[in-house]
Amino acid sequence: MANQSLFASLTSRFLPRADTVNLAGGVAYTYSSEAKLAQLAATGTLADGYYGAADAQLTDVLAAARSVDAEFVAKAAIYARKSGAMKDMPALLTC
């Protein structure tokens, strides 16, 4: 058992608590729409994975893209193509 007085910090008491559960069942933080789109654009493969299906990922990407402004969607697509070497996701985001 870890010594709680060694690992407890004053600042951790003021940090926000995790507010959702991720696909693996662990505690997590809710992304903003911009952060969710950026994460999916840079890492999304639109293929079935261990924790999620391709159609669920497509639904998430389209919902995130609709909830942010068009300029951010374009910047996310460019970043995913240039820095992430993604092909399908930037093509989807430009439609």
Tens of pLDDT, residue by residue over 11-64, are 667 778 889 998 889 999 999 999 999 999 999 999 998 888 999 999 999 999
Quote the pLDDT of residue 3: 65
Quote the pLDDT of residue 14: 76
Burial label, 34 (beta-carbon count in 10 A; 0-12, 13-18, 19+) = middle
Tokens representing 55 are 């159609």
pTM of the model: 0.78
